[in-house]
């Protein structure tokens, strides 16, 4: 039996990348939130030595998530044979990398 879908589906070529990126960002934010939360708990229970390190680890995970997101997108574009957008992603990565190096 075929049930009509109430919400029309979107073009197939865009479906995958968005769900993959959503999953990736979700994992990144959960790990970052867990580490920062753990660090704050450490602070409350008096583990003042460990707390800043755990929080810093959470911040580092959070900071790397958007950059890794561009890498993941680039990989998907390459897999799909969408060379134009793979190149665009590479341009973004290079600009971000130069920015990080020059800024210091």
Partner 1 sequence: MGIGAGIVGSILGLGGGIIIVPALTIIFGLPIKNAVAVSTVSIIATSTGAAVAYLRDRITNTRVAIWLEMGTSAGALSGALVAGIMNQRVLYILFGSLLAYSGYGMFKSRNLEKPASLQPDRLAEKLRLGGSYYDKALGHQVEYQVHRTFTGLVLMYFSGIAAGLLGIGAGIFKVPAMDQVMGMPFKASTATSNFMIGVTAASGAVVYFARGDVKPLVAGPVVLGVLLGAIVGAKFMVRMKPAKIRVMFIPLIAYTALEMIYRGVKWW
Site of interaction with partner 1 (CB under 8 A): 7-8, 10-11, 13-14, 17-19, 21-22, 25-26, 28-29, 32-33, 36-37, 39-40, 43, 51-53, 55-56, 58-60, 62-67, 69-70, 73, 84-85, 88-89, 91-92, 95-100, 102-104
Report how far apart, in Å, the C-alpha atoms of 64 and of each of 30, 50, 68, 82 are.
13, 22, 6, 25
Q: Whole-number minimum distance, CB 2 to partner 1, in Å? A: 20
Name which of 78 and 92 has its Cβ closer to partner 1. Answer: 92
């Amino acid at each position: 039996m075929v049930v009509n879908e109430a919400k029309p589906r979107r073009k197939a070529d865009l479906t995958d990348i968005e769900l993959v990126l959503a999953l990736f960002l979700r994992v990144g934010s959960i790990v970052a939130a867990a580490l920062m939360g753990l660090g704050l708990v450490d602070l409350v229970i008096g583990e003042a030595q460990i707390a800043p390190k755990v929080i810093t680890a959470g911040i580092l995970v959070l900071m790397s998530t958007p950059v890794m997101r561009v890498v993941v997108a680039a990989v998907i574009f390459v897999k799909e044979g969408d060379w134009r957008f793979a190149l665009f992603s590479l341009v973004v990565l290079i600009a971000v990398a130069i920015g990080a190096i020059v800024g210091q």
